[in-house]
Amino acid sequence: MFKFTLILVSNVFPATLTTLLNGNTAPLVIMLSTTKSSAKPKRPEQKFQTRLNSETGTGPPLRKMVIPTRMVKTQSFALGSSTVGLLKTHRTPTTAPSVMPGPCFLMVLISAAWALVQSRVFSIGLCQDEPIQYIASSGIVPQTSLYLDYFDTQLDALSFFQTDFATAHELLTALNAQLQEDSVNANGQNYAVLTTLGLRHAFGGIQWTGTEDAPLVWLKEMSFDDNMNTVDVIFPAHPACIYTNATILNYSMHDIGSHYPNATGYRAGNDEAMPLEECGNMIIMTSMYYTVSKDTAYLKQHYRLLSQWAEYLVTDSLIPANQASTDDFERPLSNQANLAIKGIVWIQAMSVIANLAGNTVDATNYSSIASNYVTDTWSLLYNAYADKALNPGIIPQSIYNQQSKFYPSVLETFSIPVDTRHQWSKSDWQVWTAATASDSTRQDMIDAVATWAAATSEWLSFSDLYETQTGAYVYQFADRPVQGGLLAVLVADMGLTV
């Protein structure tokens, strides 16, 4: 019986490999890549090739493995013993403009074994002591990885990670089963396909630092640019947090750097301005966090800042100025109905926050303003979702009924366009919008997104931005946390109220 396995283990633990692999009878070769380039990754012109040779002479020739690399060290491990021997070093040419020492990985190739195949657990990971640089009043302060608050050394962390497999597997299997069940119950198997993909994209873009008592969360936009913690990415991703762990939203900070992992701000003051978008996003995420946590103290702690954002919404929501929305790839536009409905819903949400924080006069004022504004405008787009998910009831049911009748008329092969400017769709906004629609319209919209996810011939991973008629990528939007928004229907069906 053949068994081929490829694993990655951080290079800081070479002494533990014999322990991890002790007892495995298959010969192996380890190739250690020790460089990285400051340029974007490119396929190397050279490939390092090696053929594993059977020491026993039995069985067929072992498989030939071809692994791209810039610098390779080959080592031999005598399994079943503590002997580790360095055999040779092999360098391959590189045309990269800058090559410097960087994080390393061990790639272990295990050959065919004719004996009874035994079960083995291998760890895949990257250990980072100080993964983030953060600018504070005292200057740039490196942020320490959260796991170091739990373990004295990296070796302790790896040992725990390795031996915790059974527990981790049990917990993750239970989470996946629950997500699958909830999604199928909500809107069928196609929706389960989207949520299981979306949850992985959402948490794949998160980095934890700090301590158990004071953790920090950092989020990268992924693929399109290197911005850190932009709220217009946190916002569409936040249903994944509400569904799994709402406390993650405690640490939201907007656009604190243009080059992840450097949260070093914008000295020139040239950060991207989305004032109405981001003020509203922060208020609604605070409201969503409260619906799950019931943390009134948190609302009181941040009430002054929340009220400042709300005052901007009061001033600018009814007739939005020329500004960008979260769909900034569409460029700024004046008087966007989508921003108007967002601002109105969030003024009403601020009314609820004010009441919970004990500011009844503010609560009455904000509610009155929202009620007056809503009679002057309405939207067919995704920002009505907040009204459905939080149930403040500021948008009449008649508008939702109009939406549900209208959407099928503009539904194309792979979704509804974001607006009339381009045939472009966003998977997260499609599901947000579907959550506000009738059952039949909701199903049609979810099925269209699932059809694109299954039918696209593009090589990039599940993108949130694509062309609605051909299914082509618009930009290289891939691996983005915004896919956490695909859980929006699940959150809307949770029956949350503020």
User: Are 333 and 347 found together in one domain?
Assistant: yes
243, 206 Cβ separation under 8 angstroms: no
Q: CA of 281: how far to CAs of 155, 156, 243, 341, 489, in Å?
A: 41, 40, 18, 12, 18
Is residue 183, in this structure, part of any structural domain at all? Answer: no
Residue that finishes a domain, picked among 395, 411, 443: 395
Is residue 171, in this structure, part of any structural domain at all? Answer: no
pLDDT, greater one: 394 or 190: 190
Residue 18 has pLDDT above 50, yes or no: no
Is residue 176, in this structure, part of any structural domain at all? Answer: no
User: Are 474 and 416 found together in one domain?
Assistant: yes
Q: Which residues of 48-84 are buried (b: 16+ CB within 10 A; e: fewer)?
A: beeebeeeeeeeeebeebeeebbbbbebebebeeeee
pLDDT in tens, 248-288: 888 666 677 778 888 887 776 666 667 788 888 899 899 99
Q: Strand 71-77 relative to strand 47-51: parallel, antiparallel, unpaired?
A: unpaired
User: Are 402 and 389 found together in one domain?
Assistant: no
Q: Residue 100 class from Cβ within 10 Å (0-12 exposed, 13-18 middle, 19+ buried)?
A: exposed
Residue that finishes a domain, picked among 395, 430, 463: 395
Cα radius of gyration (the chain):
26
User: Are 386 and 405 found together in one domain?
Assistant: no
pLDDT for residue 308: 93
Residue 61, SS3? coil
State the pLDDT confidence band at 95, using cuts at 50, 70 and 90. Answer: very low
What DSSP character marks residue 335?
Answer: S
Q: State how far the Cα of 427 lies from the Cα of 411, in Å rounded to an integer.
A: 13
Is residue 331, in this structure, part of any structural domain at all? Answer: yes
Element (H, E) at 166: helix 165-204
Mean pLDDT across the chain: 73
Per the document, the length of the chain is 498
Residue among 389, 402, 395 at smallest CA distance from 373: 395
* 196-184-448 Cα angle (round to 5): 70
Is residue 172, in this structure, part of any structural domain at all? Answer: no
Q: State how far the Cα of 235 lies from the Cα of 485, in Å rounded to an integer.
A: 8
How far is C-alpha 115 from the geometric centre of its chain's CA atoms? Answer: 42
User: Are 308 and 433 found together in one domain?
Assistant: no
pLDDT in tens, 25-80: 333 333 333 333 333 333 332 222 222 233 333 333 333 333 333 333 333 333 33
User: Are 405 and 480 found together in one domain?
Assistant: yes
User: Which DSSP string corresponds to 439-476?
Assistant: HHHHHHHHHHHHHHHHH---SSS--SEEETTT--BSS-
pLDDT, greater one: 493 or 324: 493
Is residue 117, in this structure, part of any structural domain at all? Answer: yes
Q: What is the mean pLDDT of residues 145-167?
A: 89
Estimate the crossing angle of helix 439-455 against helix 397-410, to 10 degrees. 40
User: Are 234 and 252 found together in one domain?
Assistant: yes
Amino acid at 14: P
Per the omega criterion (within 30 degrees of 0), is the bond before 261 cis? yes
According to DSSP, the residues that pair with 66 across neighbouring strands are 49
Can you state the percent helix, strand and coil of the chain, rounding each to 5? Answer: 45, 20, 40
Is residue 250, in this structure, part of any structural domain at all? Answer: yes
Q: What is the mean pLDDT of residues 109-121?
A: 53
According to DSSP, the residues that pair with 73 across neighbouring strands are 32, 89
Q: How many CA atoms lie within 13 A of 439 on its CB side?
A: 4
Q: State how far the Cα of 353 lies from the Cα of 347, in Å rounded to an integer.
A: 10
Cβ neighbours, 10 Å, residue 161: 16
Q: State how far the Cα of 29 lies from the Cα of 356, in Å rounded to an integer.
A: 63
User: Are 32 and 108 found together in one domain?
Assistant: yes
Cβ neighbours, 10 Å, residue 384: 26
Residue 151 has pLDDT above 60, yes or no: yes
Question: Picking from 86-100, 143-157, 252-266, 426-440, which range would have the lowest pLDDT averaged per residue?
Answer: 86-100
User: Are 113 and 16 found together in one domain?
Assistant: yes
pLDDT in tens, 392-406: 778 888 888 988 988
Question: Picking from 98-112, 143-157, 238-252, 431-445, which range would have the lowest pLDDT averaged per residue?
Answer: 98-112
User: Are 409 and 464 found together in one domain?
Assistant: yes
Is residue 299, in this structure, part of any structural domain at all? Answer: yes
Residue that finishes a domain, picked among 368, 395, 422: 395
Q: What is the mean pLDDT of residues 320-337?
A: 60
User: Are 260 and 139 found together in one domain?
Assistant: yes
Q: Which domain holds residue 38?
A: 5-126
Residue 152 has pLDDT above 60, yes or no: yes
pLDDT in tens, 453-496: 888 777 777 888 888 998 888 777 778 888 999 999 999 988 88
Nearby residues of 138 by Cβ (< 8 Å), 6 or more positions away: none
Q: What is the mean pLDDT of residues 170-191?
A: 94
pLDDT in tens, 425-446: 889 999 999 999 999 999 999 9
User: Are 365 and 323 found together in one domain?
Assistant: yes
Question: Tokens 């299954």 label which residue?
Answer: 454
For the chain, what is the domain count? 4
Residue among 171, 160, 76 at smallest CA distance from 123: 160
Q: State how far the Cα of 416 lies from the Cα of 408, in Å rounded to an integer.
A: 9
pLDDT in tens, 213-256: 999 888 887 665 678 888 888 889 999 999 999 988 886 666 77
Torsion-angle region of 215 (φ positive above 0: left; ψ -120 to 50: alpha; else: beta): beta
Q: State how far the Cα of 194 lies from the Cα of 427, in Å rounded to an integer.
A: 9
